[in-house]
Structure 1
Amino acid sequence: MAGCAAVVAVVLAAAVAGARAEGLVGVNWGTMATRRLPPKVMARLLKDNGFNKVKIFDADETTMMGLAGTGIETMIAVPNDMLAAVAADYRRAKDWVKMNVTKYDFHGGVNIKYVRGSRLLLTWSISSVFFLQLICVCDPSIRFVAIGNEPFLTAYNGTYDNVTVPALKNIQRALDEAGHGSAIKATVPVNADVYDSPASNPVPSAGKFRDDVAATITDMVGFLNHSGAPFSVNIYPFLSLYGNDDFPIDYAFFDGAPPKPVIDKGINYTNVFDANFDTLVSALDKIGFGTLPVIIGEVGWPTDGDKHATVPYAERFYAGLLKRLAARQGTPLRPHTHIEVYLFGLMDEDAKSVAPGNFERHWGIFTFDGRPKFPLDLRGNGRPVMPAGARGVQYLPRQWCVLNPNATNTTKIADNVAYACSRADCTPLGYACSCGALDAAKNASYAFNAYYQAQGQVPAACDFQGLAFITHKDVSQPPCNFSVQITETHATAVTTNTTAAADSSAPDATTTRVTVAMMMALLFVLVLT
């Protein structure tokens, strides 16, 4: 038996070491796309790149079944539009847990520990001697349930303020009663607009929760502390730069040499991420929960759609972030601390709302078809490499829809371009974007092709009142790529993503998120001047 115990110790130690090497960060998997890769292809993409944690914005059955057998720890979500019902009726909470959590739970064995997102179960087999087998559960490993997404945004005008915490409590109670509560925790992803520092003293130590939600947040935080769940927040340094040319660009990254750091009680803040995070820590401390664990539900950098949304900037941001996470650097108020982080996001999503800005469709570290954009140190070993691309991707025929150079009714071009761009993604055509240097004819061709590909290359989608024709010559003009879409068998209808940034039904909320970030950036600038 002592020998068996030694084997257990060795195997578990090896598993934990592997988890540290491959589980540096999680990632958000959004699905706001006109045509999507199959969930199994996506799940394999996650595994191939060492992601052991993923955050999704619903509990969609096809997505969940795609994750089945991978052992990837998953954060699922109760959407905002269900919060009132779940808050008012505990039976609805029980039903939701039954359909979206218990349904995927594996019964049997002894749940030892989560390692690399899988539950390791010990089972004994008897032959001539006893020996140990470690088996991996073949169901999705649900770790967190997100109660809404950014429900306290000011743009919602208090719509969810009175139902979010009751919904949180009902879901956690249902998880507990179903036997999941020790392993699965409910939390509420919030936007950084729930806390700030006063304009008269815009430093992290002055951080406090917004007056209109302070009592609600205090109640929520007390419950999270009691249940053992973390506080979840979304932080976007990119938004400090967006639309704010006065913001010092180096403060958005981790490797700059700021001419004048923000000094707060002897602490030098050299980047906006640390300042934002520690503003939250200060706000938590003021209500008596300064040591509550905090996870970053969303953080990232877009690669197109704005002059600051570029591949080099994204690579720079992630290089600094991942290096700090691997070193467990923490922040000034929480030094030498592991911060659990979910990158935003996995894939570009061409059907997201552009109300906050054209960059919203370009947050992915992979393109729409699973091609990596730049090297990343996802395993925390100090060696950035190009991530593994999606395998088994099938494309439509290599053909494009472009402006016919012999077209005579050119007065109709503008209207047809507008029509195409209202139904397909033309955000790369913007100023300082990847296709911003195209001439007028290429602009029209890009718009026509974007629509044609989104429609699955049906011939009728390449007419535009006789202005367009189909060509088999790739007309891409680097860095501008004229895409060929994936096949129909890999396409899925656009679904509603409940994040404020992705929900086309809530443009005001998304715009407010950007506005709040810009306001915080302006306060940060005031300290520097």
Structure 2
Amino acid sequence: MARQDVASVLVVALVVGAFASLPTYVQSIGVCYGVIGNNLPSRSDVVQLYRSKGITDMRIYFADGQALSALRNSGIGLVMDIGNDQLGKIAGSASNAAAWVRDNVQRYQGLKIKYIVAGNEIQGGDTGRIVPAIRNLNAALSAAGLGGIKVSTAIRFDAVASSFPPSAGVFAQSYMTDVARLLASTGAPLLANIYPYFSYRDNPRDIQLNYATFRPGTTVRDSKSGLTYTNLFDAMVDAVHAALEKAGAAGVKVVVSESGWPKAGGTGASVDNARAYNQGLIDHVGGGTPKKRGALETYVFAMFDENQKTGAGTEKHFGLFNPDKSPAYPIRF
């Protein structure tokens, strides 16, 4: 996860108020599993914790062999990133993509791989590598008889510009039109990391905490669409939907590949706010957004605090569980 500078595009709204098998279902809630820490449980213990808590889906950020081995025959749906350090290699060579699929997908029997993620929050010149990487991975999966596994990329929210009202959402850069149209052609979703927390943190004076944390009390109407919003999360997701429409990819589904709230380390970061946001998120996404009703597949960030992460103080404090596997606060899945 990386910081998202989203306040500038949202403040106005808030001032106003086989080897691998595919699952046969779409679960609305999963949890992201990061491993940048020196005090975390073993991979096998983590998989058992997911199962004991009824968490049916997991996102991992690289092809972690220990995690993949532990996930075999677990029944847990998996979203697997290639790792940002692999993006250029896979984009530049079909044979590299085939080798990656061989080593990290075909090698592990009994996995339920839902999506492969070609780049997480890619920016700058590397954005030009996303489409060729997706194409090469799609070809490699097809050649391996695994063409049903969908390949996508995960974007920061600031890939969307002009997001107020939500119906005005449009992609900020042209590369996203190419990405969106490729996903439309393959039937893959667009993965989006959605963090109302960062908007609130950057402007707590103008952004209502209740609106950012699924608490009642604030309503915002989109005058162009006529839709009414009672939480910032929905407004952000529907801005992504609007951007896809403008890119000629209205049929592309959005999957929220990260969303969460920190419990320490910064403005608004507290156990009470984290619990309110994450429980509100879990309880809410089964119904979708005002623009797109129906279950919205969403991955909470994150399973554990990661004590070796760098950056803002909050980066180390998104965990739902402590290293001893006890809950950081009460949460229901």
For normalisation by structure 2, the TM-score amounts to 0.88
Question: Within 5 Å, which residues of 2 pair with 1:67-86?
Answer: 67-86=71-90
Question: Does 1:194 find its partner at 2:198?
Answer: no
What SS is found at the alignment partner of 1:74?
strand
Which residue among 216, 236, 249 is the counterpart of 2:195? 236
Q: For the residues of structure 2 that align with 1:39 and 1:319, how far apart are their CA atoms?
A: 25
In structure 2, the partner of 1:309 is 269
Q: For the residues of structure 2 that align with 1:161 and 1:263, how far apart are their CA atoms?
A: 31
Contact 1:76/1:145 (8 A) holds in 2: yes
Which residue among 323, 329, 333 is the counterpart of 1:368? 323
Q: Which amino acid aligns with 2:295?
A: H
Question: Within 5 Å, which residues of 2 pair with 1:196-215?
Answer: 196-197=161-162, 202-210=164-172, 213-214=173-174
In structure 1, the partner of 2:38 is 34
How far residue 24 of structure 1 moved from its aligned partner, in angstroms, is 4.4
Structure 1 residues 321 and 36, CA, compared in 2 at 3 Å: closer, same or farther?
closer
Which residue among 134, 140, 144 is the counterpart of 1:174? 140
In structure 1, the partner of 2:240 is 280
How far residue 159 of structure 1 moved from its aligned partner, in angstroms, is 2.6
How far residue 43 of structure 1 moved from its aligned partner, in angstroms, is 0.5
Contact 2:278/2:300 (8 A) holds in 1: no
Q: For the residues of structure 1 that align with 2:222 and 2:155, how far apart are their CA atoms?
A: 27
Larger Rg: 1
| Deviations, residues 213-236 of structure 1 (Å, cap 9, x unaligned) | 32x211211211221211100000
Contact 2:80/2:115 (8 A) holds in 1: yes
Q: Which amino acid aligns with 2:261?
A: W
Structure 1 residues 227 and 263, CA, compared in 2 at 3 Å: closer, same or farther?
closer
Q: For the residues of structure 2 that align with 1:84 and 1:347, how far apart are their CA atoms?
A: 29
In structure 2, the partner of 1:146 is 117
Q: For the residues of structure 1 that align with 2:132 and 2:323, how far apart are their CA atoms?
A: 37
Question: Does 1:358 find its partner at 2:316?
Answer: no
| Deviations, residues 457-495 of structure 1 (Å, cap 9, x unaligned) | xxxxxxxxxxxxxxxxxxxxxxxxxxxxxxxxxxxxxxx
How far residue 47 of structure 1 moved from its aligned partner, in angstroms, is 0.4
How far residue 26 of structure 1 moved from its aligned partner, in angstroms, is 0.7
Contact 1:148/1:164 (8 A) holds in 2: yes
Q: For the residues of structure 2 that align with 1:264 and 1:92, how far apart are their CA atoms?
A: 49
Contact 1:204/1:264 (8 A) holds in 2: no
Question: Within 5 Å, which residues of 2 pair with 1:154-165?
Answer: 158-165=124-131
How far residue 344 of structure 1 moved from its aligned partner, in angstroms, is 0.4
| Deviations, residues 308-343 of structure 1 (Å, cap 9, x unaligned) | 111111111123222222xx32111113x1100111
Which residue among 45, 48, 55 is the counterpart of 1:51? 55
In structure 1, the partner of 2:95 is 91
Contact 1:147/1:188 (8 A) holds in 2: yes
Q: For the residues of structure 2 that align with 1:307 and 1:242, how far apart are their CA atoms?
A: 6
Q: Percent identity?
A: 32
Q: For the residues of structure 1 that align with 2:324 and 2:98, how far apart are their CA atoms?
A: 37
Contact 2:264/2:317 (8 A) holds in 1: yes
Question: Does 1:256 find its partner at 2:216?
Answer: yes
Q: For the residues of structure 1 that align with 2:80 and 2:288, how far apart are their CA atoms?
A: 26
In structure 2, the partner of 1:526 is none
Structure 1 residues 228 and 24, CA, compared in 2 at 3 Å: closer, same or farther?
closer
Q: For the residues of structure 1 that align with 2:199 and 2:324, how far apart are their CA atoms?
A: 29
Question: Within 5 Å, which residues of 2 pair with 1:464-479?
Answer: none
Q: How many positions carry a matched residue from both structures?
A: 309
Q: For the residues of structure 2 that align with 1:81 and 1:315, how far apart are their CA atoms?
A: 33
How far residue 65 of structure 1 moved from its aligned partner, in angstroms, is 1.0
How far residue 140 of structure 1 moved from its aligned partner, in angstroms, is 2.4
Q: For the residues of structure 2 that align with 1:316 and 1:323, how far apart are their CA atoms?
A: 10
Question: Within 5 Å, which residues of 2 pair with 1:327-406?
Answer: 328-335=286-293, 337-353=294-310, 355=311, 357-378=312-333
Q: For the residues of structure 1 that align with 2:84 and 2:153, how far apart are their CA atoms?
A: 11
Q: For the residues of structure 2 that align with 1:88 and 1:263, how far apart are their CA atoms?
A: 43
Contact 1:299/1:341 (8 A) holds in 2: yes
Question: Within 5 Å, which residues of 2 pair with 1:410-489?
Answer: none
In structure 1, the partner of 2:8 is none
Q: Which amino acid aligns with 2:271?
A: V
Q: Which 4+ stretches in 1 moved above 4 angstroms?
A: none
In structure 2, the partner of 1:217 is 176
| Root-mean-square deviation (Å) | 1.8
Query: Which residues of structure 1 form unaligned runs of 5+?
Result: 1-14, 106-138, 153-157, 379-529
Which residue among 230, 240, 250 is the counterpart of 1:290? 250
Q: Which amino acid aligns with 2:282?
A: L
Contact 1:26/1:342 (8 A) holds in 2: yes
| Deviations, residues 185-206 of structure 1 (Å, cap 9, x unaligned) | 11101111111217xxx31111
Q: For the residues of structure 2 that align with 1:319 and 1:36, how far apart are their CA atoms?
A: 23
Structure 1 residues 61 and 25, CA, compared in 2 at 3 Å: closer, same or farther?
same
| Deviations, residues 8-53 of structure 1 (Å, cap 9, x unaligned) | xxxxxxx98xx89xx5411100000023211110110000011111
How far residue 150 of structure 1 moved from its aligned partner, in angstroms, is 0.8
Contact 1:93/1:174 (8 A) holds in 2: yes
Q: Which amino acid aligns with 1:205?
A: S
